[in-house]
Amino acid sequence: MMIHQAEFIGSSVDYRKCPDVKNPEYAFIGRSNVGKSSLINMLTNRKKLAKISGTPGKTQLINHFLINDKWFLVDLPGYGWAKASKTKKEDWEKMSRDYLLYRSNLVCVFILIDSRLPPQKVDLEFIHWAGENQIPFALIFTKSDKQSKGKTSKSVAAFMKKLKETWAELPPVIVSSAVNGAGKEEIIGFIERINQGKVG
Ligand code: GDP
Q: Is the pTM of this model over 0.85?
A: yes
Residue with the smallest CA separation from ligand 1 atom 6 is: 35
Residue with the smallest CA separation from ligand 1 atom 19 is: 35
Residue with the smallest CA separation from ligand 1 atom 17 is: 35
Residue with the smallest CA separation from ligand 1 atom 18 is: 35
Using only C-alpha atoms, the chain has a radius of gyration, in whole angstroms, of: 16
What DSSP line would sit under the chain, residue for residue?
-----EEEEEEESSGGGSPPTTS-EEEEEEBTTSSHHHHHHHHHT-SSSSPP---TTS---EEEEEETTTEEEEEPPPB--SSS-HHHHHHHHHHHHHHHHH-TTEEEEEEEEETTSPPPHHHHHHHHHHHHTT--EEEEEE-GGGS-HHHHHHHHHHHHHHHHTT-SSPPPEEE--TTT-TTHHHHHHHHHHHHTTS--
Write out the chain's pLDDT in tens, 200 residues. 689 999 999 999 999 999 999 999 999 999 988 999 999 999 999 888 877 544 544 558 899 999 999 999 999 987 776 566 777 777 778 899 999 999 999 999 999 999 999 999 999 999 999 999 999 999 999 999 999 999 999 999 999 999 999 999 999 999 999 999 999 999 999 999 999 997 65
Question: Measured from the CA of 54, which atom of ligand 1 is nearest?
Answer: 8
Ligand 1 binding pocket (C-beta < 6 A) is 30, 32-38, 52-53, 78, 142-143, 145-146, 177-179
Question: Measured from the CA of 146, which atom of ligand 1 is nearest?
Answer: 26
Ligand 1 binding pocket mutation candidate from 29, 31, 38, 174 (most atoms within 8 A of CB): 38
Burial 123-151 (b: 16+ CB within 10 A, else e): bbebbeebbeeebebbbbbbbbeeeeeee
Distance 32 CA to ligand 1 centre (A): 10
